[in-house]
Each structure stands twice: as C-alpha cells, then as structure tokens.
C-alpha cells in the first residue's frame, strides 16, 4: 500500500472523521449530565433544602382512618409512616398505607379535566379546562333541576365535613340522592349493632385487653374494620404487659392471616358460624357463669342450640363446642367478634347479633377487653348513614334503567368493578344521560363517564376524618395537603364548592375552599376544648395541624344496653346459597386481598409485587382448594381451571392449599381489572364478577359468600409466581414447636403449632 489512490484517501478521511466524532461523543457521554440548582425566588419560612420536613395527615387508602406522617424534601413526598400521636394506628402503618406514595406519583393519574370524545366506554377523551368542565356540569345540573330526572351523587365513603359538604350540595340541588358506596362497608355489623344495642354506631372492640378472643370469620389482622389498630391490640394481648398471654380462636372455612396467627383454627360449615356462636352461648349459660335477671329467657332462647345440635349443623364436634363455651365462660376478659365471610352470608345480621349476645352473656359490654361504645362524631359525620347497601345500589341501577337519573356524579368509587356482574351495573349506567366522574384514576366506572373532573389524591387535599370505629373516645383528625398538586387536579371539596358557586348555592355553602370549611367546622371543637386552654383559634388550628389529630381521652358516660327484644328474636337460620349442590358443588369463599383490598391497590406496583402473606403469590390471583378435594377432582396445583357460577365463569390458576375446608374454594378479591392503569390491567380475574346477586335481607348488604361454583379443568397449565418454594419443612425444623396435643397442652405448648384439620369430605 505504498500508493494511496483517491478512493482509499476518501475512505481514510471518512474513517478518521467518524472516529473523531465517535471519540468526541464518547467523552461527551461520560460527562455528568447538566444539573440545575434552582433556588426559590422567595423561600418558604424555615425551609432548608436537604432537610426533611414531616407533615401529619390522614391515610386515605382504606376506611380505617389511620394517622400518617409524611417525610417531604424540597416539596416532594418521600416516605409515609404512621403518626405516633394518632390513637388508631399509634405510629404503625400497613403496606397499603405505605404505598400511598404510588397513588401520588402514579403514571396513570388523570392529569386534567376531560370530556368524552368517542362512544361511551370507548375510552377516548379530550382534555379541557376546569372552567369549561365545571360550566358543562353546572349546565347539566341546572337542566336536571328543571327537568324530570334526578341528580345522584355516588361517592366513596367519605366522613367528616366533606360528607356534610356533599350533603349541603345535594340539598341545594333539591336532591336526596347522596349515596356512599364502599364494597367492604360492614353493613351487617351496623345492622346487628342497631338491633342489639339500638345504636347505629360501631363500638370499639378492645382486643388489646382481651384475654380470650373468639373471632367468627373476622380477619382482624388483615381487613376487618381497622386492621392496623387490631394488629397492635393483637400484639399487646399476646406479649404486652404482665398479664397472661391472650388466647385467640378463629372460626372460618379458609385459614386467613388471622387464622394463621390464632392458637386454634376451627373450620365450620360456611354460613353456620352464627349457629356455633349460639352453641358457645348455650354452653356458657349452661356452665352457670351468667347470672342476670333474664337468665330464664336466655336459657329458653338458647335451648335449641345444644352442643350436639350445633355440632350436627356446623360440622364442629360437640366436644369442641362445649370446650369453646367453657373457655369463653372461664376467661377473665373474653371477646367475640364477627366479620369476613360470617358477615357475608344471608344470615349475617342474625349471626352477628348472636355474637353480640355472646359478649353480653360474658358480661364484657362496656368493660376493658370487651365491647366499648364510641361517642358520636365530634364534628362532621361518621359516614355510615349515607352508605349504600348492595340493595340500595340495585335500586340505583333500576332507577338508571327506568330513566329516572339524569345526572350521576361519581366520586372515586368504582362500582362497575366491585358490583357483581349479575347486577349489570355497567349496563344500567348506559341509560344515564350524563355521568360525571371526579376520579383520580381512570377506572372501570370512570371509563363510562362523559365529563371527568379529576380530584387530588389524599396527599394533595384538605379534609378531616372521624375514624370509624373509633377507639372508645372522641377522635378527629385533619388531613392537610402534604405537597402542592402535581397535576391540573382539584380537591373533591373544592370541585363541589366551585359547582356550588356556579349554581348560586353560596347561601348554603359560603366557603371559598375546603380549608375555610374545615376551619369553620373545627370552631366547634375549639370552643369545646381549645378555648378553655387559652389561645386563639389560629393557634389551636396550627397545633391540630402539627399533631395531625385531636382527641379527648374520656370514655362515654352513657352506655347503651342490650335490647330486651334480642332474646326473643335470637336465632340463626340456615344460610342460603345460590346454585344447586349438584351443579355447583363448591361454596365460593371470597376475601379481600391484603395488598389490593377491594381492588383499589391493584394499580400500585409495590402492592402487585407484595407476596400474599399466606400463599406467597405475587402478581395475579388464584383459587384455593383443599388437597383432598383436588385429588378427588384430578386437579393439580397450577392447573388453569374454569370456575363457573350461575352468573358467569372465569379462568384462574388452581392453588392447592391445605388449610381450607373440603367443599369450599377461596378466591381473593382485587385483581382482574380492565381499565385501571398499566399495573392493574389484565392480571388475574375479578371474582366479584361471578358472584350471585344475593342480599342479606336484614341489612341489604351483599351476601358475598353465598355463591356456589363448579370447577372444571381447562387442560391448560398456568404459572403462579410464588416467592416461597415448598410449603413443607422437609425436616428443616424452621418452625419451632413444643407440643402437638392441642386439646390438653397448656397455652405455651401451642405456640406456633396450628392444628390444621383436614376432614375427608
């Protein structure tokens, strides 16, 4: 190559040029990217970049109303913890509460008001301004006021003064149709307490001071009423103080988290838990511990519930019934609670009344470690009175179909997902001319809306809360914005106030924003409490915001007593199941998923990747079946099966699980979304969709455990993602235990040894 011709020269020049360019870019690529240091024009007082500020507020992930404290830096929320001063959670917080950050930073949030641009349900929306969106809604509401149709407001369960504000707004529109809808609202528990004590307010179940807890289906460590508070109580009862270690017995057809933590797990035939409670009550009265004046009435009312008769109905041996009765009678502070599947049968209210009766007979009403009554909410509302039962939702759907609803406003609740398919709720919505959604996220219900006015997450908005159930004394908490709004959204209260101004309802709702409303309402508390302590309202308000919670540690003076009529009406009928035993051999037991709750947590990646505490499955759901039943059916773990009820069917992987009764299959609620963002969509199946439309007549609540199903193999296999490998110890002695004889050994001998009863069908 002594001679370089023109071609070679050009090649070399090209190579040199490309090389130099590549070298330049290489050097450029390893440089630090340009980062900016942007100071405030005017910094807020006491602000230091790099120094965290903690704000107290109220968790909005479920209805327990835990206090939270959020770490912020440079105006961004970084970490959520429990507020140590809040009496409900006392510094603790569950996984769903921790994941609240992912609602704030969720990439699938609705970022601006939107109008439907395609067919309803097509999911095509165009963005608009707040002014335009609010004007359109106001116009429609005015039309509705003039026309024949009614305006309905369907909200998630809100409490405190936001509930009052919604009430004022609807009153201003001349409509009484303000409904709250939460899938997990304990309608039957409220109804049972109304029947027993004449009061529609949840009492405080003092688990921490209970020495013997008999739980009928209530998964109190996972989802029952206030799980974080219950977990605290569980810990204290077991290990706290110098009292005896508390003993827990769990009655349920499928082992829940609480069942796994219990000293004894007793499967009773689904729907017969109330009968078992009466059997325990029968033994308690027979043992002679109850000495009230109405002993004769109780004795005769409980006469049909002898151990032998209860054993025949529940499948629990008569020895066990007698033993439970004696244990409950002898315990220093016994407490019986009911929830979960027990509250999801057609006899739920009767069963829960029976459980209340058990507490009454044990003499724990109003006692430490028993049932303690809560005072009325100190400001705003407790939220229950407007909660729509399943029956009320069916009525709403009927009204929609009949054309009696002209405008439906939906605030952050997702009935299309959480109503059984049999209710045909989405279809009913088609007949509503105007649907307005105030949702933070696109979900199955919002996808059907015409106008979307997105509301803030709870970390960006003002609000207040009266936890239900309370903790036995007056508690109220203020929810303050932790961060400035990330997107072009508004607080629900502010949206309603803006609509009020447009509709000239300012006489009813004179407040400029939610903050002003709260300050107005909290004057009451100030006058009752803060004024005595001295200082002006502003100082009181600041101290409440700093603490995040206000409380008055005084027990209620007047204690309700048991309604004498309860004795006469005592009795638990056989549960009703939809579907014949021949066509649909299995009872479908549904339960709220630890991480998804009623489905709201499914769009949070942290919740998707959190293993289920019992099965260790991540991403997706499953159906549980007893190994003996599975063997009988010729099914193996990981088989994709078709689950068919009288209302529909779905395909889901089978998980063989030893701690479930033969004849019962169990499925967690929460997965199976179709319109809830990238993390939730197309994972697993929604079990609610195949539930029968069966109500408990006494409360109107959905009997979510009253569906029978059949299981058939599809011939396909499905891979369940599990963090655990083998559910057996294989001689590794991982779980230490000191004894196996559950019947005779003392409490200490039963540590960590859960007798799993697998009876042959």
Partner 1 sequence: MSVSIVHTLKVLKPAAMIALVALIGLIIGYYANAMFFPGTAPEQPIDFSHRIHAGDNEIPCLYCHVQARRSISAGVPSVNKCMGCHVEVATDRPQIRLLANYWETKEPIPWIKVHDLPDFVHFTHKRHVQADIECQTCHGPVETMDVVSREAPVKMGLCLNCHKDNEVQHGTDCWTCHK
Q: What is the DSSP letter of 529?
A: I
Q: Which of 2, 3, 6, 37 touches partner 1 (CB under 8 A)? A: 37
The CB-of-25 to partner 1 minimum distance in angstroms stands at 8
Among 2, 3, 6, 42, binds partner 1 (CB under 8 A): 42
Task: Tell me the torsion sign for CA atoms 522, 523, 526, 527.
Answer: negative
Instruction: Assess contact for 97 and 80: CB atoms under 8 A.
Output: yes
Among residues 2, 3, 6, 35, which is the contact residue for partner 1, using CB under 8 A? 35
Per-residue H/E/C for 697-746: CCCCCECCCCEEEEEEEEEEECCCEECCCCCCCCCCCCCCCCCCCCCCCC
Residue among 2, 6, 28, 757 that touches partner 1 (CB under 8 A): 28
Query: What is d(CA 662, CA 639) in angstroms, rounded to the nearest whole number?
Result: 18
Q: Which of 2, 3, 6, 36 binds partner 1 (CB under 8 A)?
A: 36
Q: Which of 3, 6, 32, 146 binds partner 1 (CB under 8 A)?
A: 32
The C-alpha R_g of the chain, in whole angstroms, comes to 29
Site string for partner 1, 499-538 (x = CB under 8 A): ----------------------------------------
CB of 6 to partner 1, least distance (A): 14
Cα–Cα distance measured from residue 173 to residue 145, given in angstroms and rounded to the nearest whole number:
7
* Span near partner 1 by CB under 8 A; candidates 47-55, 335-343, 593-601, 733-741: 47-55
| Shortest reach from residue 540's CB to partner 1, in Å | 30
Q: Output the smallest distance, CB 36 to partner 1, in A.
A: 5
Residue 75 touching partner 1 (CB under 8 A)? no
Per CB under 8 A, 31 contacts partner 1:
yes
| Least gap, CB of 484 to partner 1 (angstroms) | 15
Asked whether position 38 contacts partner 1 by CB under 8 A, the answer is: yes
Question: 374, 411, 70, 354: which is closest to 226 by C-alpha?
Answer: 374
Among residues 71 and 683, whose Cβ is nearest to partner 1? 71
Does 17 bind partner 1 (CB under 8 A)? Our answer is: yes
Which among 516, 522, 492, 518 has a CA at the least distance from the CA of 169? 492
Helix (H) or strand (E) holding 70: strand 67-73
Binding segment (CB under 8 A) for partner 1, from list 10-18, 122-130, 380-388, 543-551 = 10-18
Beta strands in 156-263 (DSSP E): 178-180, 204-205, 212-216, 247-251
Copy the structure tokens of residue 186: 């304990």
Instruction: Say whether residue 34 binds partner 1 (CB under 8 A).
Output: yes
# of chain residues touching partner 1 (CB under 8 A): 34
CB-based contact 479:212 (threshold 8 Å): no
CB 490 → partner 1: shortest distance, Å? Answer: 23
Candidate segments 34-42, 123-131, 355-363, 370-378, binder of partner 1 by CB under 8 A: 34-42
Q: Which of 2, 6, 26, 715 binds partner 1 (CB under 8 A)?
A: 26
Answer yes or no whether residue 582 interacts with partner 1 by CB under 8 A: no
- How far apart are the C-alpha atoms of 199 and 701, rounded to whole Å? 18
First CA to last CA distance, the chain: 91
Nearer to partner 1, 21 or 510 (CB): 21
Token readout for 188 is 């039957």
CA distances from 249 to 106, 212, 253, 293, 759 (A): 40, 8, 13, 30, 19
Q: Which is nearer to partner 1, 40 or 487 (CB)?
A: 40
- Out of 2, 3, 39, 45, point to the residue binding partner 1 (CB under 8 A): 39
Q: For residue 144, what are its two tokens?
A: 């509705």
Tokens matching residue 446: 């919002």
Main-chain dihedrals φ then ψ at residue 498, nearest 5 degrees: -65, -40
Beta carbons within 8 Å of 240's beta carbon, 6+ residues apart: 208
The residue from 3, 6, 45, 51 that contacts partner 1 (CB under 8 A) is 51
**Nearer residue to partner 1 within complex by CB, 38 or 730:** 38
Residues in contact with partner 1 by the rule CB under 8 A? 1, 8, 11-12, 15-28, 31-32, 34-43, 48-51
């Amino acid at each position: 190559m002594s001679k370089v011709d023109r071609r070679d020269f050009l090649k070399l020049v090209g190579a040199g040029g490309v090389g130099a360019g590549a070298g330049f870019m290489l050097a450029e690529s390893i440089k630090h990217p340009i980062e900016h240091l942007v100071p405030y024009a005017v910094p807020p007082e006491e602000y230091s970049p790099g120094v965290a500020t903690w704000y107290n507020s109220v968790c909005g992930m479920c209805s327990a109303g835990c206090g939270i404290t959020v770490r912020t830096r440079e105006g961004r929320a970084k970490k959520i913890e429990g507020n140590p001063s809040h009496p409900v959670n006392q510094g603790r917080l569950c996984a769903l509460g921790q994941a609240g950050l992912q609602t704030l930073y969720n990439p699938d949030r609705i970022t601006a008001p939107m109008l439907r641009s395609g067919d309803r349900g097509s999911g095509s929306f165009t963005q608009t301004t707040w002014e335009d969106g609010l004007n359109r809604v106001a116009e429609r509401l005015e039309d509705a006021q003039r026309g024949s149709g009614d305006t309905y407001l369907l909200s998630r369960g809100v409490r405190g003064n936001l509930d009052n504000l919604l009430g004022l707004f609807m009153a201003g529109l001349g409509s009484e149709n303000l409904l709250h809808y939460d899938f997990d609202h304990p309608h039957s528990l409220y109804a049972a307490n109304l029947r027993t004590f004449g009061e529609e307010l949840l009492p405080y179940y003092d688990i921490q001071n209970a020495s013997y807890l008999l739980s009928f289906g209530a998964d109190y460590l996972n989802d029952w009423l206030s799980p974080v508070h219950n977990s605290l109580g569980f810990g204290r009862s077991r290990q706290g103080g110098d009292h005896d270690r508390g003993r827990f017995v769990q009655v349920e057809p499928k082992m829940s988290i609480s069942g796994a933590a219990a000293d004894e797990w007793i499967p009773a035939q689904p729907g017969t838990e109330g009968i078992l409670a009466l059997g325990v009550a029968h033994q308690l009265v027979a043992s002679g511990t109850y000495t009230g004046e109405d002993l004769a009435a109780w004795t005769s009312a409980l006469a049909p519930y002898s151990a032998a008769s209860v054993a025949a109905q529940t499948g629990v041996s008569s020895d066990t019934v007698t033993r439970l009765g004696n244990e409950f009678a002898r315990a220093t502070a016994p407490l019986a609670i009911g929830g979960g599947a027990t509250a999801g049968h057609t006899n739920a209210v009767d069963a829960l009344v029976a459980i209340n009766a058990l507490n009454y007979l044990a003499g724990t009403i109003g006692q430490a470690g028993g049932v303690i009554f809560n005072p009325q909410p100190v400001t705003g509302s407790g939220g229950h009175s407007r909660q729509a039962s399943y029956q009320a939702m069916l009525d709403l759907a009927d009204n929609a179909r009949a054309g009696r609803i002209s405008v439906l406003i939906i605030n952050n609740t997702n009935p299309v997902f959480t109503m059984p398919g049999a209710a045909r709720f989405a279809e009913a919505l088609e007949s509503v001319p105007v649907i307005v959604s105030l949702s933070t996220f696109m979900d199955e219900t919002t996808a059907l809306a015409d106008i979307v006015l997105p509301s803030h997450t709870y970390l960006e908005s003002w609000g207040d809360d009266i936890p239900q159930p309370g903790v036995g004394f007056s508690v109220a908490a203020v929810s303050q914005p932790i961060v400035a709004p990330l997107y072009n959204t508004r607080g629900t209260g502010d949206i309603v106030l803006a609509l009020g101004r447009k509709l000239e309802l300012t006489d009813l709702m004179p407040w400029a924003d939610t903050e002003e409303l709260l300050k107005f309402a909290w004057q009451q508390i100030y006058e009752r409490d803060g004024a005595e302590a001295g200082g002006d309202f502003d100082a009181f308000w600041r101290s409440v915001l700093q603490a995040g919670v206000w409380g008055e540690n005084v027990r209620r003076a007047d204690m309700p007593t048991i309604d004498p009529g309860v004795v006469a009406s005592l009795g638990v009928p056989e549960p009703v199941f939809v579907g014949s035993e021949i066509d649909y051999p299995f009872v479908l037991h549904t339960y709220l998923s630890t991480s998804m709750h009623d489905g709201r947590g499914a769009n949070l990646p942290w919740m998707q990747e959190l293993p289920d505490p019992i099965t260790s499955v991540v991403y997706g759901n499953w159906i549980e079946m007893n190994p003996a039943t599975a063997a009988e059916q010729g099914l193996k773990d990981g088989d994709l099966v078709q689950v068919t009820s009288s209302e529909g069917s779905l395909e889901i992987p089978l998980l063989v699980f030893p701690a479930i009764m033969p004849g019962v299959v169990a499925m967690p609620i929460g997965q199976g979304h179709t319109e809830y963002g990238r993390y939730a969509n197309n994972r697993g199946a929604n079990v609610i969709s195949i539930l029968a439309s069966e109500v408990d007549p006494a409360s109107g609540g959905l009997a979510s455990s009253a569906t029978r199903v059949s299981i058939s193999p599809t011939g396909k296999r499905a891979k369940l993602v599990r963090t655990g490998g083998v559910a057996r110890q294989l001689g590794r002695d991982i779980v230490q235990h000191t004894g196996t004889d559950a019947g005779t050994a003392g409490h200490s001998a039963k540590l960590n040894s859960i007798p799993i009863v697998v009876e042959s069908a």
